[in-house]
Every structure is written in structure tokens, then in C-alpha cells.
Amino acid sequence: MPAARRGRPGYDQRQILEIAVQVFIEHGYDATSVASLAERLGLSKSALYHHYASKERLLELALDEAMGSLEAVLREPGATAGSAGDRLEYVLRGAVRVLVDKLAYVTLLLRVRGNSDVERAALQRRRGFDDQITDMVRAAQAEGTVRADVGAAVATRLLFGMVNSIVEWYRPGGPEGAEALADDVLTIALDGLRTR
């Protein structure tokens, strides 16, 4: 740490992004001004502009961090090889891990409503991600590992409704870690709560 700390005091690029995301979540992106963001960082507006060209650029990078992490799960071997049922399980577990690891970034992503080109591009990427999961559910239904009496698109939305809700209540360092949480999600989603 000392080396990184030496020289000009203050925040590096990454730390500025982290804090901006926190401020966007607390006050809402639209309601946050560059002036209030600079004040929170203890920087002048021009110092902040030295790091990032605009407030929207911060949002764009934050949304890319969230979407990029989710999309990366789809490219991992566990998501590309094996039965569709196993791949779906892998991706659900991976999505829970991303939510926990990038909690603030995904929280911001899930609040996006499409109020600008940057937000609309993020929504478009989310739809592309959802479509890939829906295809996986459909393939798992075709191979017989996932029940076919729930439509693949509705099943995907309900599954990710459950997964995404984690950002509403999960707090890092709480009693339940990411792996235990993923186990719970998979238990309910795949096996259901009912005893038999």
C-alpha cells in the first residue's frame, strides 16, 4: 500500500468510481450533481473532470462493470460445456457471486430505467443476457432436466427476480456468505421449498 499512497494524496480513478456509485445509489443518479459528487470526494470540479469527462461517463463505467461481470460468467467453461441443466445451475451460482462481489454496481444497474442513451444501452445488454439465459432454460427443458410446464421466458424472469432481489437486502459481512446464499437460491429455484 505505501507505494500506491505515495505522491499526490487523494483518490485514484477506481476509488472515485466506487464512491460515485455509492452517491448515485444514495441520492439517485439524476439527482446527483457533479458539484455534489466533487464535494463528497473533497475534490474541485476541475480535479474530478481531470479523472472523468462527465457524470455520465462514471455511470457508463459502473454499468459496464456490472454487465461485464455478469456476461463474463456466460463465457466461463461451466457455462459453455455440459448439459443445459448443469450450465443453468452454474450461471445462477455465478450470478449470485457477481451480485455479492459487485453489489453496488449491480444495484445501480438494476435501478436503470432508460432515461439516457447510456441507460438504454445497459438495458439492451441486460435483455441480451436474459435472452441467453432463456435459451439455456429452453435447452434444459428440451433435454428434460428442467420442467417444461413453466414457460422459459417467465421462468427466467422469476429466477432472476429472486437472484436480483438480493441487492435489496444483502449486506457484506452478514451472517450468510455468497456461497451459502447461492446454495439457498439454487435449492429454492431447482428443488423448491416443499418437502416430499
Stretch that binds its own copies, among 11-19, 66-74, 116-124, 147-155 (CB under 8 A): 147-155
Judged by CB under 8 A, the number of residues near its own copies is 39
From first CA to last CA, the distance across the chain in angstroms is: 54
* Alpha-carbon torsion, ordered 177, 105, 29, 13, to 10 deg: 120
Minimum distance between the CB of residue 43 and its own copies, rounded to whole angstroms?
26
Q: Which is nearer to its own copies, 82 or 151 (CB)?
A: 151
Of positions 76, 101, 176, 179, contacts its own copies by CB under 8 A: 176
CB-CB contact of 126 with 119 (8 Å): no
Residues 97-136 that bind its own copies (CB under 8 A): none
- Rule CB under 8 A: is residue 41 a binding residue for its own copies? no
- Rule CB under 8 A: is residue 193 a binding residue for its own copies? yes
CB-CB contact of 11 with 41 (8 Å): yes
Of positions 21, 99, 109, 166, contacts its own copies by CB under 8 A: 166
- Rule CB under 8 A: is residue 171 a binding residue for its own copies? no
The span from the CA of 155 to the CA of 149, in Å, is: 10
CB-CB contact of 136 with 88 (8 Å): yes
